[in-house]
A and B are shown apart, each in its own frame.
Chain A
Amino acid sequence: MLRVGFVLLFGWVLTAKLGAQPLPEAAPALAARISSLPQHPPIVSLEFQDLTAQPAVEWSSFRSAFEVELRKAGVEIATTQPETRLKVTMSENPRGLLFVAEVITKESREIAMLPWNAPPASQPKPQVKLVKQPLIAQAEPILDVALDASRSELLVLSPSRVTSYQRAGDKWTLVGQASVTLARPLPRDERARLEVTSATLQAYLPGTTCSGTLQPTLRIACAPAGEPWPLNPRDAAFAVRWVPDRNLLESASMRAPFYSAAADVFASADGRIEARDSEPVAGAADWGSDIASIENSCGTGPLAIASSRSDTADQLQAYQTMNGRATPASDALPLPGAVTALWPAETAGQVTLVVRNSKTGEYEASRLGLACTQ
């Protein structure tokens, strides 16, 4: 008859963190728990079972650490067939990972569980000539970011706030935050634009425009929007505004609303990529809705950075657009999720990229630049 006993891990309630924790750190906790079971097994055979989607390399470090911790806790691991089997299963549920340890003898089966938050999976490195520099990641959507010239101060525009950070080594330290008071609810596909000068900022959201100052502290005031604003800081002549309650832009010089624009190429609302004269652009059939222009330091004429979809993920690629035709100018840069924002950066030769990581759900802001290959 199986007797199932439960081990209450109150201790771990106090010490477990809500944030992601490296897996090997779970090993001592689990080992200590097992060694404190009423039926303290001095010798066990050890089995592992992985029911998660975590990479195998992540588990191998945990297993090694766990075996060490077991021995430290006075539990010997036997390779022959002792009376007690210890079966550890790495499982997961919506709250995160779940370690389940079964101590199995002929007469009984005792079970211990240890929930754990898995760290995000490591990002695969891009292998293109597009160079991506991660800036910051957060759970709340990032609509736009702005760096100062020294790249030591970062402003992050989110649907509900503007946050300022200061670089401290490799990390950004929060230094200020101001709430965004929306005059209208944002569209479901949240988009917005951040414009920053040395001391002021403007945030252009659909239906709302916020103006603020950075010094001495970050302060903004929001009001219903109306006036147009430059899509590209280096092209003040091309002014756009948000279509009310929509994720579309409109411009006096454009016939129809559009999602985005880059170097006289527009991603129109009907999904086509058109030139300013509304003629379709050849070679852009698989472009997505997010395009942005980037100054080309490796050649002549700006390039358009366009999102598109590969077999498994979104990707970015640089194109040269000329005479109504788009020609790839770089290899595709695969992304860990869907592009949620692609804006010309305040610095020439850079593009602000925000991607929603499909695995972690976090919004990751990056700066995209071009590295010349020739």
Chain B
Amino acid sequence: MRLRAWAWLALSSFVADLSWCATRPHYGGALAVDLSTTFNTLDPAELPPNLASSIAETLTAIDARGELEPRLAESWQREADGRRWRISLRTRVLFHDGQPLNATNTAPALLAALKKTHPDVVVTAGGQTLVIQSDQGLPNLPVELAAPAAAIIRTGEGSSIIGTGPFRVAGWEPGRKLTLAAFEDYWGGRPYLDSVAINLGSSGARADVFDIPFASARRILPENTRVWSSSPRELIVLVANGVEPAVVQALALSIDRVPIVNVLAQHRGEPAFGLLPEWLSGYEFLFETPPDLARAKQLISGVKLSPLTLSYPPTDSFARAVAERVALNARDAGITVQAVPGSNGKLRLVRWLLNSPDAARELDRLAVFLGVSLRVNYNGPPKLQSMFTFEGERAILDSNRIIPLVHLPLVYGLAPRVHSAEKSPSTGAFSLRLENLWVDP
């Protein structure tokens, strides 16, 4: 079963009952959010992406079509063959402490972010204009500026941060609770909510908004809870280290992904044969290969097999269930796989989250995450991007180190009083943004 891309949007919108609402958004109110994950820093690069952008914004952003759009930067010009960029900042943007955004107070955060990948970068600030240059060249600077790591922030008291986003940090207990308050002077319009209280590491289902991890007790939802499901954003993948290519191929042929999706993921998500989901790449169906136990056994018939360990994150019960299922499928093909908690196995089950709808950028990020040497740096026209990402993805999969398993959506439970006023339905299918939520009075 494979849902078409736009159907994901329809499904998510329909199920959430959020987007088509005749009632206008209501200003005011407090939102309680329970997240099962936890984090100990407010560094935008470490925060969940939709949360980061609610506090700290980037100069550019990737829209729902995977294309760049201006954010804190109004425009940008490429000069000197990409070795210099001139960026015009948006006016009338204020930081949470009231300071107006200008090139001078933008430059430090920008320089710190760019230095990590471009050691020779120089940022020159003047008025509302930033000039960024590097002798090594900055061909993809606008895309890099959209990364959460390049968010424009200033450090506040304690470990708090000062950004320009629709919410400001009103309270921060690292690892336990983050309290946000509406930024009245947000340049994009004051958010509807007055405040958002985010409880971290919470497993309950009583808040206004709570995430629903797979294989969690939260699957039993309170009455009237609505479920908001994004388009598939999380990739569950097996990474092999030091395993013979024939064994990896045989393992890939032995895994039946459909029961994993239908049962373990409760029909949410879809089997993954490619690294990028179908809705994002449009060509994932080209990688689809049905399970073939006979072929798998044939591949390993001449190979000396030894038991493989498949490690999964110890506290992730869904990953454990998937790992055990993979071990069972492998056993049917004659490959002994033992699922163990940890991170040192010959096979590792890892989860990777899409940050944006930009296929090329996400594939590049994934290649770095997986530790494969193939990099896709696409500089050409957007129209040709699909072919280049397909080639890159094909090369990664042909290395016989990676076995994609499933693409999963992010799923949230919403209390009946919660509504969303998304600016565009496709954005709503990618992430649930706090600034678009409002609650009944």
Contact = CB atoms under 8 A, between A and B. Distances in A.
A313 interface: yes
A163 to B, nearest CB: 20
Contacts of A113: 282-283, 386-387, 390
Greatest chain B CB density within 10 A among A94, A259, A260, A289 is at: A94
A309 interface: yes
A259 B441 CA distance: 14
B359 A289 contact: no
Interface in B272-293: 278-283, 285-286
Interface stretch (A6-14, A76-84, A164-172, A230-238): A6-14
B390 A271 contact: no
B386 A98 contact: yes
A95 B14 CA distance: 22
A52 interface: yes
A16 B75 CA distance: 25
A87 to B, nearest CB: 10
B426 A361 contact: yes
A134 to B, nearest CB: 19
Contacts of B20: 309, 312-314, 337-338, 358
Contacts of A248: 27
A368 B10 CA distance: 27
Interface in A307-340: 307-309, 312-315, 337-339
Interface string B226-253: 0000000000000000000000000000
Nearest to A248: B27
Contacts of A359: 6, 425
Interface in B2-55: 2, 4-7, 10, 13-14, 19-27
Interface stretch (B148-156, B189-197, B342-350): B189-197
A289 B4 contact: no
Interface residues of A, number: 61
A89 interface: yes
A125 B22 CA distance: 20
Nearest to B94: A185
A9 to B, nearest CB: 7
Nearest to B430: A94
Greatest chain A CB density within 10 A among B25, B357, B391 is at: B25
Contacts of A16: 383
Interface string A264-291: 0001011100000000000000011110
A13 B384 contact: yes
Interface residues of B, number: 60
A53 B285 CA distance: 16
Contacts of B190: 185, 187-188, 245-246
Greatest chain A CB density within 10 A among B188, B281, B384 is at: B384
Greatest chain A CB density within 10 A among B67, B285, B387 is at: B387
B22 A115 contact: no
Q: Is the interface of B mostly helix, strand, loop or mixed?
A: loop
A53 B426 CA distance: 14
A314 B17 CA distance: 11
A111 B391 CA distance: 10
B421 interface: yes
B282 A188 contact: no
A307 B383 CA distance: 40
Contacts of B378: none
A189 interface: yes
Contacts of B285: 49, 51, 89, 91, 100
B424 interface: yes
Interface string B302-335: 0000000000000000000000000000000000
Given A93-B386, A98-B282, A361-B424, A271 B92 contact: no
B426 A12 contact: no
Contacts of A186: 189
B267 interface: no
Contact of A188 (B13, B66, B191): B191
Given A93-B359, A94-B280, A188-B191, A51 B22 contact: no
A188 B435 contact: yes
B65 interface: yes
Contacts of B187: 185
B383 A13 contact: yes
B26 A269 contact: yes
Nearest to A115: B383
Given A10-B384, A93-B280, A113-B283, 17 more contacts: A8-B384, A9-B383, A53-B7, A91-B278, A92-B279, A93-B279, A94-B65, A113-B282, A113-B390, A115-B383, A185-B186, A271-B23, A288-B22, A309-B21, A314-B22, A339-B22, A358-B20
17 contacts: A91-B278, A92-B279, A93-B282, A93-B386, A94-B65, A94-B66, A111-B390, A185-B186, A185-B187, A187-B190, A188-B25, A189-B189, A245-B184, A259-B24, A309-B20, A312-B14, A361-B424
